[in-house]
Amino acid sequence: MSNRQEPAPSGFTRRSFLQGMGAGALAAGAGVLSPKIANGAPQDAAKPGLCGPDPVPVTLELNGKKVTLPLEPRVTLLDALRNHLDLTGAKKVCDRATCGACTVLMDGKAVYSCTVLAIEAQGRKIETVEGLAESNQGIAAMQRCFVENDAQQCGFCTPGFVMACESFRRSHPKAARNEVLEGLGGNLCRCGTYHGVTQAVLDAIRGGK
């Protein structure tokens, strides 16, 4: 992989920067900040820790279990889950942190996993839609509320919505309808399931689940 050249300047975006870092886009040399630094450890400007572009061992704390796998540093958390671990609940839709279909929880907070590098997610507790179900005998209360309110049609936005709603419910245990509408603006649906989603969150909150 060391024979990689500068990516073509056309189509160079913030995101291609993120994913292309392993391609030697940094003047300092091919690589990204090491996991230790990415995790917020004090940074030594003189000796930046670098790794990549070849695969490096990445350890994720995923649904309560530690998993280590070799990943290129440019691999997003979403692609690590979907393409490397076959956890395909989180979906790739906009791939630009707009639609929320890729939402997972990182230390309990909803994040767009399409815009988090897997390497950055080390040391964080990652919870996916599959994990939420597993830790609740196959289906969690929020997921059941979705089913009961017919809050899914094609279902492609649903796992992301479920995770965003679950995060919202945990942080807003007494939210009213208008807060729900404000709090869930980060997820999009095309079939038009918002009515059911709103009801599902309100039911889950009411149930204190």
Partner 1 sequence: MELAWPDPKDTTVLGKRILRLDGPDKTTGRAKYTYDTNRPRMLWAKYATCPHGHARVKSVDVDAAQKMAGVVAIEVLAPAGSELNVAFSEVAIVAAESEEVAREAVRRIQVEYEVLPHNVVDDDPQLAGASAKPGKANVAGDPDAAFKEAAAVSETEVGCSIITHCCMESHGSAVEVAADGKSLTAWCSTQAISGKNGRFANEAGIGDASTSVAICQHMGGGFGSKFDIDAWGAWAAKLSARTKRPVKVMLERDMELALAGSRPSAFARMRVGCKEDGTVTAWESEAWGSGGNGGGLGVNQLPYVFGNVPNKRTRTTPITTNTGEQRAWRAPSHPQMALLTMAAMSDCAAELGMDELDFFKKNLGYTQRAKVYEEELNLAADLIDWKKKWVPRGDQADGVRHGLGLSIHTWGGGGHDSNVQCTIHPDGAVEIACGTQDLGVGTRTALAIVAAETLGLPLEKIKVSIGDSRLPPSGGSGGSTTIGGISSASRDACVQAANALFEKVAPDLGGDPKKLVAKGGKVYAADNEAKAIPWDVACRSIGAQPQVTTGTQQRSLMQQGVGGAQAAEVEVDVETGIVRVLKLVAVQDCGRIIDLLTAESQVRGALIMGVCSALYEERIMDPVTGTLLNPDMEFYKLAGIADVGELVVKMMETPEHLGRGVVGLGEPPVISPMAAISNAVANAIGARVARCPMTPDRVLAAVGKKKGA
- Contacts (CB under 8 A) with partner 1, residues 62-81: 72, 74-75, 79
Residues 6-45 that bind partner 1 (CB under 8 A): 7-8, 10-11, 16, 19-20, 22-23
Using CB under 8 A, which of 123, 181, 202, 209 touches partner 1? 181
Task: Please say whether the beta carbons of 85 and 58 come within 8 A.
Answer: no
CA 138 to each of CA 31, 129, 132, 142: distance values in angstroms, whole numbers, following the listed order: 40, 11, 8, 12
Using CB under 8 A, which of 30, 77, 99, 175 touches partner 1? 99
Listing DSSP states for 129-145 in one string gives HHHHHHTTTTS-HHHHH
Nearest CB to partner 1, comparing residues 144 and 209: 144
Nearest CB to partner 1, comparing residues 43 and 195: 195
Give the span between the Cα atoms of 41 and 195, in whole angstroms. Answer: 43
Residues 108-147 that bind partner 1 (CB under 8 A): 128-130, 132-133, 138-139, 143-144, 146-147
Nearest CB to partner 1, comparing residues 107 and 182: 182
Nearest CB to partner 1, comparing residues 122 and 130: 130
Nearest CB to partner 1, comparing residues 51 and 87: 87
CB of 139 to partner 1, least distance (A): 6
Listing DSSP states for 110-168 in one string gives EEEGGGSBGGGGTTSEEE-HHHHHHTTTTS-HHHHHHHHTT--SS-SSHHHHHHHHHHH
CB of 46 to partner 1, least distance (A): 30
